[in-house]
Amino acid sequence: MATWNSRGLRGSTLEDMINRTNDKYSDAGLALIQKVPTPITPIKMDREHRQITLAYFEQKSTVDYIGAVQGIPVCFDAKECAVDTFALQNIHEHQVTFMEKFEKQGGIAFFLIYYTHKDILYYLPLQMLLFFWNRAKEGGRKSFRYEELNPEYILPRKHGIMVPYLDMLQKDLEDRA
């Protein structure tokens, strides 16, 4: 099986890589994580081909993925970044609010960021995001730089697992203790 940084997968999106990882984790009995579909209302349909040709979003989506890892509720969002500076406008207030409420209920919330130009995957715990989020709300930078991130949360390359986020989830749990 190819790893997440192999040549054969360069055209794949981060979502595809995460979906494959989630399948592996599910098959191994390690986690059950589901992609959260974005609710839409179709406006126009091509009846001959049974395809939606025009639709609108019913409501704001919360996170990309939700589920459980060894009995621990988790939710996360996936983002791609092509430069060293991640603009906080890529994250919406309702997502942050949902994640904060999720953690108050005993879950773990985080972001997976793929720095495409560096070919690096990063696990961003909600608490770290909140530091940058609150800094922006108080008039500071509306983004964070790659150099500001804790290098301990770079996802390791692992044979057979494209986005090995369980390793960093374990570190996140240990750091919270």
Domains of the chain in start order, with CATH, are 7-37+68-176 (3.40.1350.10)
36 band by pLDDT with thresholds 50, 70 and 90: confident
- How does pLDDT run across 3-31, given as a tens digit for each residue? 444 443 443 588 999 999 999 999 999 99
CA distance 136 to 142: 5
Is 64 assigned to a binding site?
yes
160 band by pLDDT with thresholds 50, 70 and 90: confident
- How does pLDDT run across 71-87, given as a tens digit for each residue? 999 999 999 999 999 99
Q: What angle do CA 109, 114, 119 make, to 5 degrees?
A: 145
Q: What angle do CA 1, 68, 111 make, to 5 degrees?
A: 75
Per-residue pLDDT, 58: 55
Is 3 assigned to a binding site?
no
99 CB burial (10 A radius; 0-12, 13-18, 19+): buried
Query: Can you read off the two tokens belonging to residue 55?
Result: 């639709």
Is 97 assigned to a binding site?
no
